[in-house]
Structure 1
Amino acid sequence: MPTNSNQTYEIIEVCLLAGKIMLESGAETGRVEDTMTRIAASFGIEDAHSYVTPTGIIFSADGMAPAKLIRISERTTDLRKVTLVNSISRNISGGQVSLDEAYTALKNIEKRNLMYPIWVQIAAASISSGCFLIMFQGVWQDFVPAMIAGGLGFSCLLYFHYLVQIKFFAEFSASFIIGFISFLFIQMGIGHELDKIIIGSVMPLVPGLLITNAVRDLMSGHLVSGISKGADAFLTASAIGSGIAVVLSFLN
C-alpha cells in the first residue's frame, strides 16, 4: 500500500504515462481506462478513477490527492507500443516490476520510434492497393496502375502530414493526387476501370482503426469517445471523398 503522498503521486504519474502512450498509439478508450486502473490497483490504490477522451485523460487516485489532467494532441497508429504497455501492465500485476522500473520502462517506450521505415509503409500501401483492386473485382491489367497510384498517394499523405499540421488537409490532397493519377492512366490507355483503380488506391487512406475503435467505444458505453472518434472518421472519409470528387468534376 502507498505510505505517503509522494508515492501516490508517483503511481499517478505511471498510470498517466501508460494511458498517454496507449491513447496516442491508437488504443481504444476502454483498454486505456482498464490498464490505468489495473496498474493503480497493483500498487495498492483500489479506488482509482479515470476519464479518457481522445484529446485528454483525467485520473484520480483515491479521492484525496488532486486529480491530474494530461492533454493528448497527437494520435497515430502504433499497436506495438500498445502491446508493450499491456505487457508492462501484466508484469506489474504479477509483482515482477517495481514502481521505478515501470516508470523507466514506460519512458523508454515513449521515446522509441517503433514505426516501420517510410519505404516499408509506402511499399505496403502500394501492394495493398493492388490487392484491394482485385478484391473489389477489378481486372489484373489494372493491378500495376493501382499500385502506382496508391503508393504515390500514400507518399503524399505522409509528406503533407509532415509539411502542414492541418487536420484532413493531407487526406484531401492525397486522394486528389490518387484521382488525378488514376485518370491519367485511363487517358493513356494503361488503365481500364477508373472506379476500381480509385477504390483500390484510396483504401490505405481509410481510417479503419478509428472506425473500429469508435464502434467498440460506443458498444462499451464510452459515448463521448465513441461519438468524437466517429466524427473524426467521418470527416476523414469526407476529405478523401472530396478529393476524388474534385478530380472527377474537373476532368470528366
Structure 2
Amino acid sequence: MNGFLGSYKRKDSKEGFLHEVAAVCVLTGKILLQNGAETYRVEDTMNRIANSFSVHDAQSFVTPTGIIFSIEDHDVTQLVRIRNRGTNLRKVTQVNTLSRRVAHGEVSLKDLHRDLLQIDRSTVAYSNSLQILAAAIASSCFLLMFLGKWQDFLPAFIAGGAGQAGMIYLHKLAKVKFFSEFMSSIFIGMVALVSVKLGIGVEMNKIIIGAVMPLVPGVPITNAVRDIMAGDLVAGLSKSAEAGLTAFAIGIGVTAAIVLG
C-alpha cells in the first residue's frame, strides 16, 4: 500500500484515481480500527474522505478483523485484514482531525497519504516505563476509590506495575493477548498474596481489585455497546466476545495465583 501513489501523476485516468482514493480510505480505516475506534466511526470517516474527493458511490464494510471498501459501477475494491488491535486514542484523534481538514478541502490526496503513513508509523505516545508507572499509580488510586486501606497503597502500587509490565513484555514474546492477560493477572495475584502473608498488606481482595483495573477492557466494552446500539451487530458481538474473553483471562489468572499460593 505504501507505494500506491507512485501512479498519482496519472490523475487523468479516472480508474487509477479511484484506486488511489480507495487505498487511502482503506489505510484510514486500518489506522482507526487498529487503535480502538468504533465501527461506525471507521465507516463514516472512510465514506467522508471518499466524498471529499468527489467519489460519492463508495461503500464500506468493517468488522473487527477486516475492512472491505468498494466503489460502485467501477472495478475498484480494496480489502485489508486487521490482525492486531489495541487502544491508542491519540492516533484516532489525529486521523479524525486530518479527515476534517480533508472535508474542508485543505489536504490533497497525496498529502493525505503521506500524513496517514506518518501517523501509522508513529510509535506509542508513552514509553514502557511511563506506562508501567501510570498503571501502578492508577492501581493505588483505584484501591482507595474502592475504600481500601492506606496500608495497602504500596502493595497495590507494586501489583499494578507488575501486571502492566507483564502485559507489555509477555505480549512481545507471545502474540496471544489471552496469554499475556492471564499471566499478568497471575503476577497481580501473587504480589497481593505475598504482601498479605508478609504483613505488608491487609486486604488481599482490595489490592487485587485495584491492580486489575488497568487491565479491564473498558474501551472494547464501550465500543461493543455503541456498535450494537448503532446496528453493527457483527462487530458489536465480536467485540463483546473479545472483552468477555479478556475478563475471563483476568479472573482465571487471579484465581490460579490464589490457589497455587
Structure 1 segments unaligned to the other structure (5+ residues): none
Distance 1:201 1:2, change over 3 A: farther
Task: Note the 1:29-40 alignment, pairs <5 A.
Answer: 29-40=39-50
Distance across 2 between alignment mates of 1:133 and 1:2: 63
Segments of 4+ moved more than 4 angstroms: none
Higher mean displacement: 62-71 or 7-16: 62-71
Alpha carbons 2:19, 2:76 under 8 Å: kept: no
For 1:123, give the aligned amino acid. Answer: L
Distance across 2 between alignment mates of 1:152 and 1:2: 57
Alpha carbons 1:51, 1:59 under 8 Å: kept: yes
For 2:57, give the aligned amino acid. Answer: D
Distance 1:2 1:27, change over 3 A: farther
For 1:230, give the aligned amino acid. Answer: S
Q: How well do the aligned residues superpose, as a CA RMSD in angstroms?
A: 1.3
Alpha carbons 2:220, 2:240 under 8 Å: kept: yes
- What is residue 207 of structure 1 aligned with on the other side? 217
Alpha carbons 1:214, 1:225 under 8 Å: kept: yes
| TM-score, normalised relative to structure 2 | 0.94
Structure 2 segments unaligned to the other structure (5+ residues): 1-10
Task: Note the alpha carbon deviations across 1:111-159, whole angstroms, 9 max, x for none.
Answer: 1114311111001000000000011110111111100111011101111
Task: Note the alpha carbon deviations across 1:203-226, whole angstroms, 9 max, x for none.
Answer: 111111111111110010000000
- 2:205 is aligned, of 195, 209, 223, to 195
Higher mean displacement: 4-13 or 105-114: 105-114
- 1:70 is aligned, of 59, 65, 80, to 80
Task: Note the alpha carbon deviations across 1:63-83, whole angstroms, 9 max, x for none.
Answer: 322322101111111111111
Matched, 1:224 2:234: yes
Distance across 2 between alignment mates of 1:249 and 1:146: 20
Alpha carbons 1:125, 1:204 under 8 Å: kept: yes
Task: Note the alpha carbon deviations across 1:69-116, whole angstroms, 9 max, x for none.
Answer: 101111111111111111111111101111111111111111111431
| TM-score, normalised relative to structure 1 | 0.97
- 1:180 is aligned, of 165, 168, 190, to 190
Q: Please state how far the C-alpha of 1:3 moved relative to its aligned partner.
A: 5.9
Report the secondary structure of 2:76's partner residue: coil
Distance across 2 between alignment mates of 1:229 and 1:59: 21
- 2:58 is aligned, of 45, 48, 62, to 48
- What is residue 33 of structure 2 aligned with on the other side? 23
Distance across 1 between alignment mates of 2:35 and 2:167: 18
Q: Please state how far the C-alpha of 1:167 moved relative to its aligned partner.
A: 2.9
Q: Please state how far the C-alpha of 1:2 moved relative to its aligned partner.
A: 8.4
Matched, 1:153 2:167: no
Alpha carbons 1:133, 1:196 under 8 Å: kept: yes
For 2:146, give the aligned amino acid. Answer: F
- What is residue 89 of structure 2 aligned with on the other side? 79
For 1:187, give the aligned amino acid. Answer: K
Distance across 1 between alignment mates of 2:246 and 2:15: 44
Distance across 2 between alignment mates of 1:220 and 1:73: 24
